Amino acid sequence: MPELPEVEVICQGLRPHLTNRIITAISCSGKSLRYPVPHAAMNDILCGQTIRTVRRRAKYLLIATEDDTLAIIHLGMTGNLGIFPHSAPVKVHDHVRWLLDNGLELRLNDTRRFGAVWLLPPEQARDRENGFFGNTGPEPFGRLCTPAHFMTLAQRRKQPVKSFLMDSRVVAGIGNIYANEILMAAGIHPLRQACALEEDNWQRIITLTRQILTRAIACGGSTISDFINASGESGYFQVNFTVYGRKGQPCHQCGSPIEKIQIGGRASYFCPGCQKG
């Protein structure tokens, strides 16, 4: 589920439901996610507070309350957030629930429990770019995401460009699917060394990253309207995949069969005809 576009879609879908609502109760499954869920702290601090903003940074969802406390939610591999009536049956992997003052509930469902929830006090929340996100790279859409930025970080990096693009310290939010798709669009082989790319390669990668992520967000956006009953559908950008999951199928550009290899332990797809070194 959760790639940058999906987190953005979830963020946009939740915003109107959460903004200016009061959190009235917190329930947890008791199971730990990647880290223990701060159940007691959420009870003590969040209950009774009004939600002010709902934003995204990298693949994290940021929910700020009236006193500037910040709840940060990461969805891991299988996490999902949805708005449900309080009376709706609780599902197996619903681990965190925030009851709101209108009878609806925010629910975090996460089968594999690779997700996480943090609660930052106001001071840490304000300083999050130096603290919590101190090692997180720029947003792909931000003005700090430039060819110069990539070239500086890539100087001594001989690792495959695909792994480099997926490194959250380099640039935020690019996961396995989009790294594959971006490199295909750019015509760059995923195993090419990061330090070997030149300025125009990076410019192309940046432009295509923005284009692909924007399109993916637009595709996912169509499902957010029925968030209340369905728990966030996954959108339909997958019909636009050019390489991901297409092992052996013909490339839409040149007809070569798409190849699948392992890079850094992750499934990596590329077109041997279109993506050169």
Partner DNA sequence: CAAGTTACCTGACGGC
Partner DNA sequence: TGCCGTCAGGTAACTT
Question: Among all residues, which ones are annotated catalytic?
Answer: 2-3, 59, 266
DSSP 113: -
Q: From residue 190 to residue 229, what is the string marking binding to DNA with x (rule CB under 7 A)?
A: ----x-----------------------------------
Residue 149 binds to DNA (criterion: CB under 7 A): no
Of residues 148 and 254, the one with the C-beta less far from DNA: 148
Residue 239 binds to DNA (criterion: CB under 7 A): no
Q: Candidates 12-20, 120-128, 158-166, 249-257 — which segment interacts with DNA by CB under 7 A?
A: 158-166
The upper half-sphere exposure of residue 127, i.e. CA atoms within 13 Å in the direction of its Cβ, equals 6
3-state secondary structure of 162: helix
Residue 105: CB minimum distance to DNA, A: 21
Tell me the β-bridge partners of 118: 72
**Full DSSP string of 181-218:** HHHHHHTB-TTSBGGG--HHHHHHHHHHHHHHHHHHHH
User: Of 18, 63, 71, 177, which lies in the binding site for DNA, with binding defined by CB under 7 A?
Assistant: 177
> Do 247 and 234 form a contact (C-beta atoms < 8 A)?
no
Q: Cα–Cα distance between 213 and 142 in angstroms, integer?
A: 13
Residue 103: CB minimum distance to DNA, A: 28
Residue with structure tokens 């637009």? Answer: 218
Residues near DNA (CB under 7 A) are 1-3, 6, 32, 34, 58-59, 74, 76-77, 92-93, 111-114, 156-160, 163, 166, 168, 175-177, 194, 234, 264-267
